[in-house]
Amino acid sequence: MTANPPTIPRRPIGMIVHAYYEEDPRVRREAESLVARGRRVDVFALRREGDAAEASIDGVHVHRLNVQRHQGARLGTYLREYLAFLFRAGWAVTRAHRRRHFAVIQVHTLPDFLVFAGLPLRLVGVPLVIDLHEAMPEFFRMRFPGAANPLVHRLLVLQERLSIRTASAVITVNDALAARLVALGVPSAKITVLLNSPSLVRFDPAAYPSRAFCADGTLRLVYAGALTPTYEVDVALEAIARLASARPALPVALEIYGRGDAEATLRTRAADLGIGERVTFHGRIPIEDVPAAIAAADIGLAPTRRDPFTDFSLSTKIFEYGAMGKPAVASHLPLVERTFPPGSVFVYEPGDPDALSGALLAIVDDPRARDAAIARTSLRIRELSWEHEADRLAALIERLAPDRLSSSS
């Protein structure tokens, strides 16, 4: 009788991310998809006060390092925070490698130079992947305009190039950012694009109570995202004020799920516009609760300012609203136009509250166009869902670390 060949566990993957793991949907999707394919994944992330140093979340082993985020802080505070995490993450992942024998180390940005936390393992032959969520030079210019100048920009581009050169492979979030990297001299063969699209398992409208449009007589809007200057929630507030003036018989409510350094300003602005009672700030909610929040709304908002940074970005909120069968209103940005077919997402010119108000009324007044938009967006999202992207991630990891589940005796 022939014995079955012994099972050889697949070597684990180490991930480093300067974020609270529970709050980063992209990192969670990537980690969980690798666990589902038989890999152990260890994530080294930030630690909130009161959190345990280690946890297991949906099969992912999370190591929380004693560094906290200072959102909305000054540049010097950010730099100290980044450097503290860089050194702690490098030490922690190097020590863990003695026990885990990682197959690949994947570093999620920002900042780009966090990739150097994995340099000790790269020097001993462990493949190192950098996952570029943003274009850091453009992000810096948008986030810290007072400190931005040509010299700083050149230094940021230099650290970006050195970070990429250190890595074995590069992941980024869309074709526009990939083209930007190629223009910087990165070989296209080194780049893999993994869209920031949602998992249709998590964003499944059938799992939540169905809401007919304006079912209770109120137009319910939802915004689920960060409250930072990148997102023009202030323009959305002005649009709601105009809508209330133009259609006083139409009750409108905006549910905001998220946090950020612009929250206090937004609360004040809502009160000044006389719509404070129409806007509810819920704070940040767990990723697992986002689909239910969207399911309870009529329209999803993805308001984004336009600048050189956002010309390379595509809001994941559009994907999430569409996956839940809700019409989306988004700023008219290059990647929105390139990604979604005409008649799917209702767009308005960034910074124009009248245009945003008009887009909302178009959804209210034209049920046929609304239903057609939902159908087109849903079809596109099924084509781009994370379930497809996860296969590409698994293929990249397999190419870098081609071990197998079993071997013959």
CA distances from 323 to 8, 314, 386, 408 (A): 38, 15, 11, 43
pLDDT score of 73: 64
Q: What is the average per-residue pLDDT within 312-331?
A: 93
Q: How far apart are CA 255 and CA 300, in angstroms?
A: 10
Q: Which fold has domain 13-197+386-400?
A: Rossmann fold (3.40.50)
Q: Does the domain formed by 205-384 have CATH 3.40.50.2000?
A: yes
Q: Which distant-in-sequence residues (6+ apart) come within 8 Å of 329 by Cβ?
A: 299, 300, 301, 302, 303, 345, 346, 347, 348, 356, 359, 360, 363
Q: Is the dihedral of CA 17, 335, 315, 393 positive or negative?
A: negative
Strands 128-132 and 169-172: parallel
Full-model pTM: 0.86
CA–CA dist 329, 345 (Å, integer): 6
Encoded tokens for 54: 């280690």
Q: Reply yes or no on whether the pLDDT at 322 is more than 90.
A: yes
pLDDT at 1 exceeding the cut of 70: no
Q: What is the pLDDT of residue 406?
A: 39
The pLDDT, as a whole number, for residue 15 is 97
The length of the chain in residues reads 409
Q: What is the mean pLDDT of the chain?
A: 90
Does this chain's domain 13-197+386-400 share its CATH topology with 205-384? yes
pLDDT on residue 409: 31
pLDDT of residue 8: 54
Question: In sequence order, what DSSP letters do the residues of 95-136 get, joined into one string?
Answer: HHHHHH--SEEEEE-SSGGGGGGGHHHHHTT--EEEEE-S-H
**How far is Cα 153 from Cα 141, in angstroms, rounded to an integer?**
8
All structural domains of the chain with their residue ranges: 13-197+386-400, 205-384
**Which pLDDT score is estimated for 408?**
37
Q: How far apart, in whole angstroms, are the C-alpha atoms of residue 194 and residue 97? A: 26
* pLDDT tens digits for range 243-272: 999 999 999 999 999 988 899 999 999 999
Judged by DSSP in three states, 29 sits in helix
Is pLDDT above 60 for 349?
A: yes
**Is the confidence at residue 27, as pLDDT, over 90?**
yes
pLDDT in tens, 46-80: 998 889 999 999 999 999 999 887 766 677 788 88
Give the contacts of 1 (CB within 8 A, at least 6 positions apart): none
